[in-house]
Amino acid sequence: MTAPNLTAQILVEALPYIRRFAGKTVVVKLGGNAIDEAIERAMAQDVLLLRSVGIRCVLVHGGGPQVDEMMKRVGKAPEFRDGLRVTDADTLEIVRMVLVGKVNRDLVARINQEAGDDPIAVGVSGEDGGLLVAAPRDPSLGFVGDVVHVRADRLVKLLNDGLSPVVATIGSDGKGQSYNINADEAARAIAAAMGAEKIVYLTSAPGLLEDVNDPDSLVQRLSADELRARLSGDSVSAGMIPKLRACADAVDGGVKSAHIIDGRVPHAILIELLTDAGIGTMIYRGTKA
């Protein structure tokens, strides 16, 4: 098959998905691990293409590795309990500085660089306009919060204006106290509050594997109930548990489907959303996708 014919075939394959998802909201959670420039550029191009065909995209990001690096630079040792960063007042300031002032700005700049004369990405902190209302999770964790409310109308307004929000996961309570929020959970809360069609987690793994040592043992589809049954066993790696639990909670909370895909693959978002084969693991509610 010639290159033009192959391109035409790909476009035809994507068409029913474009029609199905046009006007719908997709929340994409980006991992904090560093990715190379080519993959980052491909991700930005994916966001732009989705927007150009009418799919409303909200990006949510963490930045754990970048926070760790900054803490070490200032002589402060990172501390974790049950996978969550212990966040005292000094650590909270570092987290805010890195997530809002560095990671968020870099992502916005990359997307707008690809957009050229029509920049569409806008950076948002969960503190802005009270977007993410938080409450403390556990006093032993310091200023670590859980999302208790999402003012989804703030994001909807940006989307209605033709913009793509890029959300840094710092929240605040009604008294102005800031909290460090787990990005997987923040993305889930945002997707549920917006009634998103899909939530997509970009990771450094192919998806859920039957055998963690065999990348070819990908589980392509399963229900939230089936996923929860797996989480109660010991067949899932500890690092995947928060994302998988967030996926199950998202679909139980009204999101049509959740996806865990390999963010190291160029154009992973487009492959998963707009092709027949997909690329990762899809979690759905009930017995039918």
Q: What is the pLDDT of residues 98-154, one digit of tens each?
A: 999 999 999 999 999 999 998 999 999 999 999 999 999 999 999 999 999 999 999
pLDDT of residue 32 exceeding 80? no
pLDDT confidence bin for 289, thresholds 50/70/90: very low
Ranges of each domain in the chain: 61-187, 197-289
pTM for the full model? 0.92
pLDDT of residue 238 exceeding 60? yes
Q: Which fold has domain 197-289?
A: Carbamate kinase (3.40.1160)
Alpha helices in 103-166 (DSSP H): 104-115, 152-160
Rounded alpha-carbon distances, angstroms, from residue 75 to 69, 72, 90: 10, 5, 12
CATH code of the region 61-187: 3.40.1160.10
Q: What is the CA radius of gyration of the chain?
A: 19
